[in-house]
Amino acid sequence: MCDQTFLAVVFGPCDKCSKEKPLRAVYIKSEQLSYCSLCVEMGLQTSGPNKFGHLAETAFWHAFLGRGSPGAAPRAGDAQQLALTCCRPAGAGGQAGLSLPPGGAVPGLRALGSAGPQQGRGGAGSRVAEAAGASAASPRARRAKELLPPSLSLSPVSLPASLAKMATEGLHENETLASLKTEAESLKGKLEEERAKLHDVELHQVAERVEALGQFVMKTRRTLKGHGNKVLCMDWCKDKRRIVSSSQDGKVIVWDSFTTNKEHAVTMPCTWVMACAYAPSGCAIACGGLDNKCSVYPLTFDKNENMAAKKKSVAMHTNYLSACSFTNSDMQILTASGDGTCALWDVESGQLLQSFHGHGADVLCLDLAPSETGNTFVSGGCDKKAMVWDMRSGQCIQSFETHDSDINSVRYYPSGDAFASGSDDATCRLYDLRADREVAIYSKESIIFGASSVDFSLSGRLLFAGYNDYTINVWDVLKGSRVSILFGHENRVSTLRVSPDGTAFCSGSWDHTLRIWA
Amino acid sequence: MAQDMTEKELLKMELDQLKKEVKNERQMVSKTGKEIKEYVESMAGEDPLLKGVPEDKNPFKEKGGCTIS
């Protein structure tokens, strides 16, 4: 079991003999190839299983296609490519063994039910096929295409007969489904009415008399180079100087931002480490991603100690880990996952303390309320909802659904009474928790790329947002206008955090670097 | 887990959540907006990214040469 993630061609020309046959994924000298079963046999006989690496695990994709017994051959027209994680499936369904990078690597694959209700799951084969076609234009499918190497093309999945049978049984399901939908729509309408009653004024009107901001001069003060691939996440240490960052190549690095020195580095057993966090004490870091886990590494300055040896696995989800954060102490961690749930864990025992169910799709981000305001946190997901949770009871207190696409980032306002969100719909929005509504939208017609990450300055007057068009926009929170636009990164900005004392902010990007701006 | 739930179960979950939320207490935006504005004004003086920091106090200032004394 190694958690390597790779794309495997399931049916096509063998990389060794070039004949068109069902293929199995093989790992040779760090290269992922696809061999037909004859070449696999020959290879095993000549070079042995060690040379071929991971060979024993490659049969699992048969179970995933739902054909029952392993060894059932795929046919041309079946999924051309699958994103696979090399590990055994945990349950009978076989889905647990599958991990996809965010966005779902293959539109047709999501329709089979790994995540995302809007793709039409668990029902008629024809619904799935049309969802697969329709999804090609959606932002998620666009992003999925960007994640794949350019030479591979995607095609929809054709389903086995057993799912088509479920379609006829699904007919009466549809009646109660429709009545549930109408009830939900009418409740949403009522909620909107109640919220509208309090909407007597816009935020920028309240702030009319506030002095406008002058010109801002912010530039890159440090560039942290060292990651070998896209930087996906970063976090500041409470000492205002250290930073932990994680990237697609599996590396997690701790930097001293003043000197740009690397203090620690650890290689995770999985790629796409999408989440990382610094412990409040500064003595440990947490990280996770496609391994579906959140692991805690104590930081040690002893050169003889191997950081990876002291790793502790804390959280276990059934899909990728998208975000993690320590609570006020090193003892508890809050995680968000592609399986649609958030969870609170005890670090020492690895025990699940509370789980939070309510999102209808992958949860992509979370943020804890500033400590003075109590035990709540906000999460945002692919269901376009932002939800505020009570950590003790596990209940969702409020939810907001005004974005038009996935919410990539949420951040509490410094006073704790509001939060901002950044989304693939190219807008950032401010939600006031006591008025229970969205009170500001930060957008411009010229901004068409999604916002991946947002954070506030210390006073809450400025909102920094990193976008997929490689820029960082600085917004005046009160007036709703853009104050500044920062250039520098050479690929999309994936993560952005303001330092704990507000003197600078750090952005991480797919261009493999992190930049400190002040 | 959202990934294992049927559309019906997801809708039920959403419905239960909406029923709870309709009962929440809310305040007028004129009041809460004002509080946000006041918070900003009270903290603006200490916000280094807002008002700038003199170069000699900024820990991220350009790395200068070394002086040996």
Any residues with CB less than 8 A from the CB of A496 and at least 6 apart, and which? A452, A453, A454, A455, A464, A465, A466, A472, A505, A506, A507, A508
How far apart, in whole angstroms, are the C-alpha atoms of residue A458 and residue A484?
17
How far apart, in whole angstroms, are the C-alpha atoms of residue B46 and residue A353?
38
Q: Is the pLDDT of residue A235 over 80?
A: yes
Neighbours of A231 (CB within 10 A): 29
Task: Give the tens place of pLDDT for each residue, A433-475.
Answer: 999 999 999 999 999 999 999 999 999 999 999 999 999 999 9
Burial A342-351 (b: 16+ CB within 10 A, else e): bbbbebeebe
| First-last CA distance in chain B | 64
Q: What is the DSSP letter of A424?
A: T
Tally of structural domains, chain B: 1
What are the residues facing A480 on neighbouring strands? none
B4, B49, B59 ranked by CB distance to A502: nearest: B49
Cα–Cα–Cα angle for A50, A54, A60, rounded to 5 degrees: 150
Task: Give the tens place of pLDDT for each residue, A481-498.
Answer: 999 999 999 999 999 999
Any residues with CB less than 8 A from the CB of A305 and at least 6 apart, and which? none
Question: Are A343 and A376 spatial neighbours (Cβ–Cβ below 8 Å)?
Answer: no
Burial A255-285 (b: 16+ CB within 10 A, else e): bbbeeeeeebebebebbbbbbbbbbbeeebb
Q: Is residue B31 part of a domain?
A: yes
Q: Which domain CATH number covers B21?
A: 4.10.260.10
Q: How far is A110 from chain B (nearest CA, A)?
A: 10
Q: What is the mean pLDDT of residues A207-225?
A: 88
Q: Is residue B66 part of a domain?
A: no
Q: Is residue B60 part of a domain?
A: no
B1, B22, B32 ranked by CB distance to A191: nearest: B22
Q: What is the DSSP letter of A315?
A: E
Map tokens 């702030």 to a residue: A207
Which of these, A60, A62, A44, lies nearest to A52 by C-alpha position?
A: A44
Any residues with CB less than 8 A from the CB of A398 and at least 6 apart, and which? A387, A388, A433, A436, B21, B24
What are the residues facing A316 on neighbouring strands? A293
Q: What is the mean pLDDT of residues A356-363?
A: 93
Which of these, A418, A475, A427, A470, lies nearest to A451 by C-alpha position?
A: A427
The H or E element containing residue A203 is: helix A203-206
Q: Is B14 on the interface with A (CB under 8 A)?
A: yes
Q: Is residue B20 part of a domain?
A: yes
A187, A435, A478 ranked by CB distance to B32: nearest: A435
Alpha helix stretches (DSSP H) within B1-69 = 7-22, 29-43, 48-51
Q: Which residue of A has its CA nearest to B20?
A: A397
Lowest mean pLDDT among A51-55, A280-284, A292-296: A51-55
Question: Predicted confidence band at A159 (pLDDT cuts at 50, 70, 90)?
Answer: very low
pLDDT of residue A486: 95
Determine the residue type at A184: A
The H or E element containing residue A51 is: helix A37-52
Task: Give the tens place of pLDDT for each residue, B10-47.
Answer: 888 888 888 888 888 888 888 888 999 999 999 988 88
A310-314 contacts at long range (C-beta below 8 A, 24 or more positions apart): A311/A266, A312/A347, A312/A350, A313/A350, A314/A286, A314/A345, A314/A346, A314/A347, A314/A350
Burial of residue A240 (number of CB atoms within 10 Å: 0-12, 13-18, 19+): middle
Retrieve residue A438's tokens: 């969205």
Q: Which phi-psi region, left, alpha or beta, contains residue A374 (left: φ > 0; alpha: ψ -120 to 50)? A: left
Q: Which residue of B has its CA nearest to A256?
A: B60
Question: Are A509 and A493 spatial neighbours (Cβ–Cβ below 8 Å)?
Answer: yes
Chain A residues within 8 A of B17 when measuring between CB atoms:
358, 396, 399
Q: What is the DSSP letter of A118?
A: G
Q: Which domain holds residue B9?
A: 5-55
Q: Is the pLDDT of residue A296 over 80?
A: yes
Task: Give the tens place of pLDDT for each residue, A253-293.
Answer: 999 999 999 999 999 988 899 999 999 999 999 999 999 99
Q: Is residue B26 part of a domain?
A: yes
Q: Is the pLDDT of residue B61 over 60?
A: yes
Three-state DSSP string of A427-467: CEEEEECCCCEEEEEECCCCCCCCEEEEEECCCCCEEEEEE
Q: At what angle do helices A161-197 and A125-134 cross, to 10 degrees?
A: 60
Q: How far is A331 from chain B (nearest CA, A)?
A: 25
Q: Is residue B62 part of a domain?
A: no
Alpha-carbon separation of residue B48 from A73, A506, A517 (angstroms) = 63, 14, 12
A95, A210, A498 ranked by CB distance to B37: nearest: A210
Q: Report strand pairing: A451-456 vs A437-442.
A: unpaired
Q: Is the pLDDT of residue A81 over 60?
A: no
Determine the residue type at A41: E
* CB within 8 Å of chain A, chain B residues 26-65: 26-37, 39-41, 43-44, 46-50, 52-53, 58-62
Which of these, A406, A369, A411, A356, lies nearest to A385 by C-alpha position?
A: A406
How far apart, in whole angstroms, are the C-alpha atoms of residue A256 and residue A489?
20
What are the residues facing A79 on neighbouring strands? none
Which of these, A341, A360, A337, lies nearest to A290 by C-alpha position?
A: A337
* Contact call for B3 and A113, based on CB within 8 A: yes
* Contact call for A457 and B49, based on CB within 8 A: yes
Q: Is the pLDDT of residue A346 over 80?
A: yes
Question: Are B29 and A366 spatial neighbours (Cβ–Cβ below 8 Å)?
Answer: no
- Specify which of A125-134, A159-168, A255-264 reaches the highest per-range mean pLDDT: A255-264
Question: Are A114 and A98 spatial neighbours (Cβ–Cβ below 8 Å)?
Answer: yes
* Contact call for B28 and A200, based on CB within 8 A: yes
Alpha-carbon separation of residue A506 from A263, A299, A513, B2, B51 (angstroms) = 17, 21, 10, 33, 18
Q: Is residue B24 part of a domain?
A: yes
Question: Predicted confidence band at A134 (pLDDT cuts at 50, 70, 90)?
Answer: very low
Q: Is residue B69 part of a domain?
A: no
Lowest mean pLDDT among A63-77, A194-208, A305-319: A63-77
Q: ipTM value of the model?
A: 0.86
Chain A residues within 8 A of B60 when measuring between CB atoms:
221-222, 257-258, 503-504, 516, 518
